[in-house]
């Protein structure tokens, strides 16, 4: 998963691209309730749009694994030790 800071979007290894303001992805209490930034949602499917295939299990897993990795890094290091985005953990 690659973050494009210019376009505020991520691209998954499958090529799917989605918007995420400032790279923020939030998970709400309802199944499939994803948000980006503070006031926008990430659609996992669009029943009304045949050109938009639903997210696959692998795509959901890729996003979840990346967010889990970030939360684990947040949990383990203090603010002064927080690496910049391009530095290794």
Tell me how many domains the chain contains.
1
- Rounded distance between C-alpha atoms, residue 20 and residue 9, angstroms: 5
Give per-residue pLDDT as tens, 4-54. 999 989 999 999 999 888 888 988 888 778 888 777 778 777 777 778 888
Residue 19 lies in a domain: yes
Residue 49 lies in a domain: yes
pTM for this entry: 0.76
Residue 7 lies in a domain: yes
- The pLDDT-based confidence of 80 (bands split at 50, 70, 90) is low
Residue 87 lies in a domain: no
- Predicted confidence at residue 2, as pLDDT, reads 93
Residue 73 lies in a domain: yes
Residue 39 lies in a domain: yes
- Rounded distance between C-alpha atoms, residue 21 and residue 35, angstroms: 9
Which domain range does residue 40 map to?
A: 2-81
Residue 88 lies in a domain: no
């Amino acid at each position: 998963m690659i973050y494009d800071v210019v376009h505020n979007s991520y691209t998954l290894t499958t090529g799917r691209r989605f918007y995420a303001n400032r790279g923020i992805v939030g998970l709400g209490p309802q199944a499939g309730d994803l948000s980006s930034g503070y006031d926008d949602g990430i659609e996992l499917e669009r029943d009304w749009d045949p050109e938009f295939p639903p997210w696959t299990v692998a795509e959901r897993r890729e996003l979840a694994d990346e967010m889990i990795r970030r939360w684990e890094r947040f949990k383990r290091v203090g603010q002064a030790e927080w690496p910049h985005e391009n530095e290794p953990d």
